[in-house]
Amino acid sequence: MLYNNKSTHQHADHHCHDSCQNITHNHAHNSLHARNINKNHQSNLGRENHDHIQTQTNDLDPPPDEPDQQSPTVKLTWKIQGMDCAHCAQKIENGIKTLPDINQIKMTFSTGKLMVFVPNKNKEIIKLIEDKVVELGYTPIFESSPNHHHEHSHSLDKKALLPLVTLGILIVISYIILLINHDIGKYAFIVTAIIGIIPIAKEAITLTRSGTPFAIETLMSISAIGALFIGAAEEATMVIFLFMIGEMLEGIASNKAKKGISSLVELMPEETVIVVDGNRKTVASHSLKPDDIIEISSGGRLPADVILISEQASIDESALTGESIPVNYLYGDKILAGSLVVDNTIQLKVVSETGQNAVDRILQLIEDAEERKAPIERFIDRFSRYYTPAIALLSLLVMVIPPLLIQTDWYTWIYRGLTLLLIGCPCALVISTPAVITSALSSAAKYGVLIKGGAALEHIGSIKMIAFDKTGTLTEGKPQVTDVINRDITTEHLLTVVAAVESGSHHPLAKAILDYAKQNKIVFTEANNRKAIAGVGIQGDINQETFYVVAPNRLDTLSTQLPQEDAQLIQQLETEGKTVVVVVSHQKLLGIIALQDVLRQDAVSALNQLHQLGLKTLMLTGDNERAAKAIAQQLNIDYRAELLPADKLNEIEKISTTTAIAMVGDGINDSPAMKAATVGIAMGSGTDVALETADAALTKNSLLSLPKLIRLTRFANRNIKQNITIALGIKLIFLITSLFGITGLWLAVLADSGTTAIVTANALRLLKLKK
């Protein structure tokens, strides 16, 4: 609760600070962080002082992808086409590492973006990097500007189909020849296998030279060439053909996984109409600067974060927030990039820098997410580095040891060894986690939740308790009038008197009363001789009559006694956690007004859903015991009251030693506790500073996103475990069956590519998770 026992005393002398508070209020109104500043502005009502916290926010960890700031660097960016899985991204990174003058590389599979940091930008270094990418078998598209979002990729490249179709036709021809003449047919299959293996072997050589010796292409080449040497030409051909089909299926599946991300990119229009001195001209969206005036017609999307300068606009934000009903905005309101204009042509003022709008920030978070890997993902990366060489060594031992030790035939064991080699590719295992994380991040972004990477995703899915800041998180964060009780005058007259006396004040209680009066269409003019009475309240004259608005426990200074019935009523209201003021004239009580920081509309429903999910909940607040208890009872939540910021921090640290706990707050003020928790979750809009400090952010600013987030992350964690079980399980089965000669080469390659397709398809279920 926002107000404690002191609040009724403090209301008495707040008006002496009006001029100072007016400045604070204006600053808050214009600031990006108005909500947080307003909370500090209300600190004289019992909210703890957060001043020292501001210094702690600078202590955040630096972004993982930033190069060393000591040496000057230039960032070059490409869009890479043709990547099928996260393993492809690793191949590109390894390849570019071998080039000279490279400071740092960042390859993001989910967005297909390659970023290379070099000492200076010149045509030679760009050509060198592009040649290396082409040599590795991918197509680089250089992005000349940071906002160049045009998407060229297709889910199925016709050029990629050509080798597959050609090989398929050659296999059919070879099989027909084999039926007519067995000997010639065998040679036909050898020729077909050689034609099929040449591009794969060339890629294997390139990858080996670029630092990726144990790629699937290398293992495939060795197996197919080995099969040719032992006279299994038909099987070698089928292995190559099935491998190509598997690669194609992987490409289709991974492109579907990336569609959720690319749909965000497509929200940004390529061109925008800009208005300069009344003249309209079309410009590239990435050239827009802050303070540019733009005009968007009905059905157009916003290319930047903007402020509305038309009177009003109906805006569809469903692509960013998942909210299907259009939102009505008025003059001066801020609207996020990617939103759709529903009705009229409107004019807006650009407020975001190039590459810094809401959509860019979401994409940046998703790109950064691959840096912040989940613990299980880091383990798999380490495991796969040793797994493939170990299988390759086992394959060699299987080929050599049995024939030497027990004098069995070489053909059988070489064949089994080659089959084992195909099982050595860790593609399915490596993609099992990133595919889920990419799908989960994309799915979450669709309904207004941003998750900062795999580690946050895994931790959120494992939490057992959620702690909430109260003011601005569980409650609206500002007082509202809840009760108006009149004595001897009408309610309308009472509100007219109070509004006239409080008029012009910027104190939160005064503003709440004035807002209430305006909502009830009360007509009033500012009282004469308004002045604060130190330690008592405020007074003002209306029609030569003096009225006082004071705290109930200061009535004795006005020589006014409350009737017993009213004293009991005030006590009851205060027990409910409300702040009470009384209106007095001529030592006579005219009315009682109660105010309270009311619950968010979605708070009760959200907490009920969290309890149904088996989570414990806790409220941490600096308010007094009475006020905290009143809110806690409404929400059926445990609470700790009268906590200083350091106490909140200690409370979270104490709980987190035994229980995985999330801390939900509304931004900077709660950042120490949020950082101490297993996971910090921020309330706030897509451009709020909360995105920088928290592990996840509820961008719709709705608590109902929280149970959705828990369900999604739990589903994702289950999905990761399923994928790892599938990937390792199938590998283990085929390891055993290949060793005993039960399954051959073609089944091994089908198992490898099939498993990769299965785990990717399983991950795609996250995209279809119901909101």
Which residues, in sequence order, are CB contacts of 83 under 8 Å at separation 6+? Answer: 89, 92, 109, 112, 138, 254
Q: Which two tokens stand for residue 90?
A: 């690793």
Question: What 3-state DSSP class applies to 607?
Answer: helix
Please count the CA atoms within 13 angstroms of the CA of 58 that sit on its side-chain side. Answer: 3
**Residue whose structure tokens are 């001029």:** 19
CA gap 419, 219 in Å, rounded: 10
What are 526's two structure tokens?
A: 């500012």
Tokens of 516: 């209430």
Distance CA 443, CA 436 (A): 10
- Whether residue 444 contacts residue 558, with contact meaning beta carbons closer than 8 Å, is answered with no
**For 442-464, what is the HEC assignment?**
HHHHHCCEEECHHHHHHHHHHCC
3-state SS, residue 281: strand
CA angle 373, 375, 379 (to 5 degrees): 100
Structure tokens at 590: 């005219």
Lookup result for tokens 């990629």: 160
Three-state DSSP state, 241: helix
Q: What is the number of other CB atoms lying within 10 angstroms of the CB of residue 169?
A: 11
For 5, 11, 567, the CA distances from 573, given in Å and listed in that order, are 12, 17, 10
- What is the spatial distance between Cα 188 and Cα 182, in angstroms, rounded to a whole number? 10
Helix/strand/coil percent split, the chain, to 5: 55, 20, 30
Question: What single-letter amino acid sits at 360?
Answer: D
User: Which two tokens mark 78?
Assistant: 């490409």
DSSP string, 84-121: -SHHHHHHHHHHHHTSTT--EEEEETTTTEEEEEESS-
Determine the Cα–Cα distance for residues 631 and 625; give it in Å rounded to an integer: 10
**CA gyration radius, the chain:** 34
Please state, in angstroms and as integers, the Cα–Cα distance from residue 613 to each residue in 465, 610, 636, following that order: 11, 5, 15
Tell me how far CA of residue 500 lies from CA of 25, 120, 580, 584, 585, in angstroms: 20, 66, 18, 14, 14
Tokens of 754: 């099939």
Tally of CB atoms within 10 A around 295: 15
Question: Strand ranges (DSSP E) for 600-665?
Answer: 616-620, 638-640, 661-665
CA distance 294 to 125: 37
CA distances in angstroms from 311 to 339, 351, 459, 518, listed in the order given: 18, 18, 45, 21
Q: Distance between CA atoms of 366 and 241, rounded to whole angstroms? A: 35
- Enumerate residues 6+ apart whose C-beta is below 8 A from 167: 192, 195, 196, 237, 240, 241, 244
In which element (H, E) is residue 601 found?
none
CA pair distance 114, 142, nearest whole angstrom? 9
Residue pair 1/628 in contact (Cβ under 8 Å)? The answer is yes
Burial class (CB in 10 A: 0-12, 13-18, 19+), 118: buried
Contact 66, 116 (CB under 8 A): no
Strands (E), 362-456: 449-451
469 is catalytic: yes
Choice among 84, 316, 469, 695 that is catalytic = 469
Residues marked as catalytic: 469
